[in-house]
Structure 1
Amino acid sequence: MPIISFGSQDIDLITGKKTVTIRKLWKNPLKIGDRLHCYWNLVSKEKKKIFEAEVTAVDLISFKDLKNDEEIAKEEGYENSLDMVKEFKKMYVNDIDDDDLFQIIHFKKLDIDQWEGEKINEKAMVTQRADILFDSGKYDKSALCYTAALKFDPNDVYLLNKRGDNLSRLGRFEDAVRCYDKALEIEPKNEYIWNNKSIALLNYGNPEKALETNNKAMELNSKNSVVLYWRGFILEVLGKLNEALEVYDELIRIDNKNPEVWNARGNLLSEMEEPEEALKSYDRALELCFDDNDIDAEAQNRKGNALLDLGRFDEALESYDKAIDIAKNNLEDPSYFILNKGVVLMELNRFQEAMESFTKVLAINPKNDDARVLRDECLENL
């Protein structure tokens, strides 16, 4: 019973694209018709059976010929033969000689009712892999897995919704909407899917249609905080600022401990040129971030902007400094926050320090025209 282990990154196995693998010649070589039991991560805690297969062809090749064959390397899923050789040297800890033989094993996946060994829930296995990839931000690979899982059940609402979410992450908003529409044909009273569709439509540049779709979700549950949050955002995009503010206020009545809502309210009030009220919202948002790790640089920057609008320059400077420190600690680009700090320093007539700030921005991004113009203005005032 030959067993083959694959790395869990070999997603093409479950999509059916990968039907060949290369292994060093075994003591008992494979032959056509042999049964393969295929696993992911065989020697780890994540060991998982993926399928059984039948060998359809076996070719032998010396390592001397294999290591320079770019075509075989690409068929095996590597960028080039050099990457393939590096991987083989990890797999086979003893040195590989040029005369060593390798098997190029071609196989076909067998239907589960033809398996000899333990049978698994293939749909659940593929779905779990898709969810893991989605949560880790590997959207190209997770999209392939959700597509593969839907082959087992094209009407699975969970999978249709998740595939729609996945396609949205990839910027394929029309395809995402089609997935949501199919899911809604099956579950027309699912407010979350209506909401997800509205988000896709908004990102696709159709806020009017997004609001219509959000209305459908509201009809089902007007107190759903997720639906309300996106409703406020859609109304902002449509320029319906007072209506958006009413939505955020309603959200706060439902749950006044959500920092994201307070931040959104602060952003809206800033746009409405009400910096005093905006500052209150930003302060409340920061208060609710009990863990310092939850406070991001942009939150401090928004507070700094509100303080700047109010002419409270020393406090604004303090907020921008915090934003810069957070960005640096998170290995993020701090240049935007440094630029804002420079503007405040100019307001305080601290032109030498302001010029140094703009110089730092230009060191990070030499093409930042704002920093260049402002630095020149500082020079004129020195």
Structure 2
Amino acid sequence: MPILSFGSQNINIITGKKTMTIRKIWKNPLKVGDRLYCYWNLVSKEKKKIFEAIITDIELIKYKDLKNNDKLAKKEGYKDSKEMVKEFKKMYLEKLNDDDVFQIIYFEKLDVEDWKGKKIDQKAMITQRADILFDSGKYDKSEVCYSAALKFDPDDIYLLNKKGDNLSRLGKFKEAVQCYDKALDIESDNEYILNNKAIALLNSGNVEEALKVSDEAIKVNNKNPVILYWRGFILEVLKKYEEALKIYDELLEIDNNNPEVWNARGNILNDMNEPERALESYDKALELCLDDTEIDASAQNRKGNALIDLGRYEEALKSFDKAIALDKGNIDFLLNKGVVLMELEKFEDALDCFTRVLTIKPDDQDASFFKDECLEYL
């Protein structure tokens, strides 16, 4: 019973796009007609049977002719032959010699009803694989898997929604909306899919349309915190600050311990030129942030901006220092700190900030302008 294991570079094996593999010849070589039992990551905790297949053809090739063959390496799922050889060295612990023989194995996947071994739910297996890849941020590969799973059931709401989310992560917002629309054709009152569609439209720059879709989601459930949060953000982008503030206040009535909402509320109040109230929101966000570094850094930065508006420069400087400590490479934080230092007439320190920005981003016009300003005072 020949068993083959495939790894993450062989993602196309699931879709049927890939029907060949390269293996060092076994003691009992594989031959045409052999039945293959194929697994995903056979020796790991992610082990999963993926299909059975029949070998349709075999070619022999020596390692010396294989190790620099980029074309075959790409067919096998690698970037190039160097990557393939590196993987082979992990796979075959003994030293590979030029005269070692490899088999190029061509096969045909069998319908699950024709399997001799244990049958599996292929749709469920592929979906699980897609979810793992999605959660680990491998969106190119997870999209392939979601598309493959949809071949088994094109009207699966979960898969259509997840594929839409996946496409959004890849910046393919128009295609994402198409996925959400297909799901909504089947289940028109799904508040989560409506909200995801609104987010995709927002990210594509179609903000007015995003608000219309958010309206539909709110009609389904006007107490869903996720929908309310994104509605507030959409309204903020449209500069409908009073409406956005009302939304964030509604969210805080539901849960007043959410630092993201307090931070968003502070942003709105800042945009409404109410720095004192904004400062109260940022302080509350920071109190609740705990270990959420991204929110913490953002809140510290926005708090610093609010303090600048109030003319409290020394306090603003402390906020920017905290933001930079959490996110050292953020040029916006460095720029803001430099501006405060200029207000405090600490031009040498300000110059250092702008120089650091230009080291990260040499063509930053703001940093270049402020640097020249500092030099005039030194």
Q: Same-fold call, TM > 0.5?
A: yes
- RMSD over aligned CA atoms reads 1.4
What amino acid sits opposite 2:2 in the alignment? P
Counterparts of 2:303 and 2:114, CA distance in 1: 63
Q: Which range is displaced more, 104-113 or 208-217?
A: 208-217
- 2:370 matched to 1:374? yes
Partner residue, 1:365? 361
* CA-to-aligned-CA distance 1:318-369 (integer Å, 9 cap, x gap): 00111111113xxxx2332122111111111112222222222222222222
- 2:126 matched to 1:120? no
SS of corresponding position for 1:57: strand
SS of corresponding position for 2:93: coil
Counterparts of 1:107 and 1:70, CA distance in 2: 21
TM-score computed with the length of structure 2 as normaliser: 0.96
- 2:68 matched to 1:103? no
TM-score computed with the length of structure 1 as normaliser: 0.95
SS of corresponding position for 1:106: strand
**Could you tell me how far 1:26 is from its partner in structure 2?**
1.0
Contact 2:307 2:316 in 1 (8 A): yes
Partner residue, 1:137? 137
Partner residue, 2:41? 41
Alignment of 1:147-226 (within 5 A): 147-226=147-226
Partner residue, 1:238? 238
Counterparts of 2:8 and 2:363, CA distance in 1: 42
Partner residue, 1:14? 14
Counterparts of 1:252 and 1:69, CA distance in 2: 61
Counterparts of 1:280 and 1:17, CA distance in 2: 57
Counterparts of 2:263 and 2:282, CA distance in 1: 6
Counterparts of 2:113 and 2:169, CA distance in 1: 36
Counterparts of 2:35 and 2:86, CA distance in 1: 28
> Of residues 316, 321, 340 in structure 2, which corresponds to 1:344?
340
Contact 2:63 2:99 in 1 (8 A): yes
Contact 2:341 2:349 in 1 (8 A): yes
Aligned pair count?
A: 378
- Identify unmatched segments of 5+ residues in structure 1: none
* CA-to-aligned-CA distance 1:1-28 (integer Å, 9 cap, x gap): 1001111342111011111111111111
**Could you tell me how far 1:152 is from its partner in structure 2?**
1.0
**Could you tell me how far 1:291 is from its partner in structure 2?**
2.9
Contact 2:354 2:371 in 1 (8 A): yes
Contact 2:20 2:104 in 1 (8 A): yes
SS of corresponding position for 2:23: strand
- Identify unmatched segments of 5+ residues in structure 2: none
Contact 2:266 2:278 in 1 (8 A): yes
Percent identity reads 69
Counterparts of 1:354 and 1:174, CA distance in 2: 44
Contact 2:67 2:81 in 1 (8 A): yes
Q: Which runs of 4+ in 1 moved over 4 A?
A: 292-295
Counterparts of 1:364 and 1:204, CA distance in 2: 28
**Could you tell me how far 1:292 is from its partner in structure 2?**
5.9
**Could you tell me how far 1:242 is from its partner in structure 2?**
1.1
Partner residue, 1:92? 92
**Could you tell me how far 1:295 is from its partner in structure 2?**
4.7
Counterparts of 2:352 and 2:81, CA distance in 1: 49
Counterparts of 2:350 and 2:67, CA distance in 1: 58
Counterparts of 1:164 and 1:302, CA distance in 2: 32
* CA-to-aligned-CA distance 1:167-191 (integer Å, 9 cap, x gap): 1111211211111111112222211
Q: Which range is displaced more, 259-268 or 292-301?
A: 292-301
Counterparts of 1:292 and 1:182, CA distance in 2: 36
